[in-house]
Amino acid sequence: MSWPQRFIAPPEFAPRSPVVAGCTACGACCSAPDIHALQKPLGVPCAHLGSGCLCAVYATRPAVCRNYQPDWVCGEVAPLPTLEARIQRFLEIYGLEAEAGALERRSDTAG
């Protein structure tokens, strides 16, 4: 079930400020989730993510990126000091840290 209030954390998470109600250019949504349309794996920054965590192909980005809407997770990860910390917290929130670690280990042994 989707939590009905995009900027309020679900009850199982500590309350967060609903003040962050837009994109903060933190780069987490371009780094943490997998983006099949860009062949981008889980937990890896997008190849199009440029300096300042801005998209280099913003005008032609795929629909999955175009349709992304900021929510309470953005308010949770945006204040973290590094992109790596934001990715880690994003993965923790969605319970994906083990999956991302397994993918990383597989790519380390394949390369």
Reported as a single tens digit per residue, the pLDDT across 13-22 is: 666 555 556 7
Domain parsing of the chain, residue ranges: 28-110
Residue 33: the pLDDT is: 93
Residue 11: the pLDDT is: 72
The tokens describing 108, both together, are 């380390």
Cα–Cα dist 107/22, whole Å: 34
Does residue 3 have a pLDDT over 70?
A: no
Residue type, 76: E
Task: Record the pTM.
Answer: 0.76
| Number of Cβ atoms within 10 Å of the Cβ of 79 | 15
Residue 1: the pLDDT is: 45
The tokens describing 66, both together, are 């175009």
Reported as a single tens digit per residue, the pLDDT across 77-104 is: 998 999 999 999 999 999 998 888 777 7
Residue 29: the pLDDT is: 93
Percent of the chain residues past pLDDT 70, beyond the cut: 79
Average pLDDT, the chain: 84
For residue 93, how far is the Cα from the chain centroid?
A: 10
